[in-house]
Amino acid sequence: MQRAQMKMLLKHLFLVILIILVLSAYILLDIRCPFKYFLGITCPTCGMTRSLLSLTKLDLAASLNYNPMTVFMIAAIWLGLHKPLFRNEKAVNAIVITLAVITFVVYLINIIK
């Protein structure tokens, strides 16, 4: 196995372990959203789980209503994990950062209204 493939495999393994640990903490501590639990305000990804579930049912309107940034967040995470697949990693970084900024702006708009 090539070094780059091994590195990507380890990244994915780490991500899966992290997700399992976080989900276990949610179950054991009965926390729905740690951001809201500890800070008392909604987080930028609030509604993303419901949005993803709506997408699996092909209900785009409901998905956008829960969190309009879900598809973009999925794209940003995927791009961030797979940067080595692209020739221009700087462009990928720019896209990921742009999506993160847009997500934060949408979050601020939701807090204000």
pLDDT, tens digit (0-9, with 9 covering 90-100), for 35-72: 777 888 888 888 887 888 888 889 999 998 988 888 88
Q: Is residue 68 within 8 Å of residue 52, measured between CB atoms?
A: no
- The two three-digit tokens of residue 25, written as one number: 């903490």
* Torsion (CA) 21, 49, 40, 65 in degrees, nearest 10: 170
45: number of Cβ within 10 Å: 16
When pLDDT is cut at 50, 70 and 90, the band that residue 1 belongs to is low
Question: Among 22-36, 50-64, 77-91, where is mean pLDDT lowest?
Answer: 22-36
Note the pTM of the prediction, 2 decimals: 0.60
Reduced to 3 states (helix: H, G, I; strand: E, B; else coil), residue 83 is helix
